[in-house]
Amino acid sequence: MIRYLVKRLAIGIVLVLLASAILFFAGELLPGDFATKLLGSQATPETVAALREARGVNSPAIYRYLAWLGGLFRGDLGRSLTNGREIGPLIEARLANTMILAGCAAMVAVPLSVGIGTLAAIFRDRWFDRVVLVLSMVTVATPEFFFAYMAIALFAVNFHLLPSISIVTSDMSFGDMLPLLVLPVMTLVITSSAHMIRLTRASIVSVMDSEYVGTAMLKGMPEWKIVIQHVLPNVMSPIASVVVLNLADLVVGLIIVEAIFAYPGMGQLMVDAVSKQDVTVVQACGLIFAATYILLNMIADLLAIGLNPQLRHAK
């Protein structure tokens, strides 16, 4: 187990380094120039060259990448091209907002998905199961922005129940933030739950055909009791893995949801930086999202090993 942990950690570090290289050099390929965008009508070749020199973007890309990588190892994310401010403090407040949004969505989506998937397995081949399968399939095939705009149209525009813009500030209490979080959390829960529901149901149904389940049924034990006491403990490994993997997908979906609801998180910061051609901020935000995705995938693998004795003791 320790050897596997070390191996996965080494692979994760390599993947993060690859992600940093891809993000940096992909940023170099973006069209446009931040200096021309920032200076606007006052841009002249001399002022553009002076601003680029002040921001340190005239040196070769490979040197700037190595300097950026060295700064990352020291905890320095670099400086914004548009205002010259350090990116670390700029991201810090936005990261806290994103963690609040992602945490609220996860706390709702995980128990809801496991519960619905379990009920669908208990009532398999009945109307409830069929409705769940159809709705989850439709949800998987539908992008996040559709549910976001539908939620805005229904709850904000038609019924005026909730605000369509989720602008939160650091001086707000959680109670003040709660109405602003409902629509983005609802969107994230809907889009991230479908896979978890389907896999939970599939895992439970596959175990329901086991001999020990048949023996428990012959003894007259209710099906719901069999599922809760005997089946769920045996399917926790795949369920836990898919839950963590879907949390990784939820992190990616945050970018779209935050942009739609103008939520001041990492995703919104990244979108704003793209519009301003602030490549260094885009690279820093993208690296944080990539590292989070890789970390959650590693956790999913470790959970699969830790909760499955056959994998844990495999030769």
Q: 311: which 2 tokens? A: 């994998």
Domain-embedded: residue 78: no
Domain-embedded: residue 195: yes
Residue 17's pLDDT is: 92
pTM for this prediction:
0.83
Q: How many domains does the chain have?
A: 1
Q: Are 308 and 22 in contact (CB under 8 A)?
A: no
Whichever domain contains 222, its CATH number is: 1.10.3720.10
Domain-embedded: residue 147: yes
Domain-embedded: residue 294: no
Domain-embedded: residue 263: yes
Domain-embedded: residue 314: no
Domain-embedded: residue 74: no
Closest CA to 294 of 243, 255, 260, 247: 247
End-to-end CA distance of the chain: 11
pLDDT, averaged per 10 consecutive residues of the chain (315 residues), comes to 79 91 86 77 79 82 90 87 85 88 90 90 89 91 89 92 88 87 92 87 82 76 78 77 78 86 90 86 90 85 69 54
Residue 260's pLDDT is: 92
Buried b (16+ CB within 10 A) or exposed e, 266-289: bbbbbbbbbebbbbbbbbbbbbbb
Q: Which domain holds residue 192?
A: 94-279
Residue 135's pLDDT is: 92
Give rounded-to-5 percent helix, strand, coil for the chain.
Answer: 80, 0, 20
Separation CA 259–CA 312 (nearest Å):
42
Separation CA 222–CA 220 (nearest Å):
6
Separation CA 29–CA 162 (nearest Å):
41
Q: CB burial class (10 A; 0-12, 13-18, 19+) of residue 147?
A: buried
Fill in the amino acid letter for 145.
F
Domain-embedded: residue 300: no
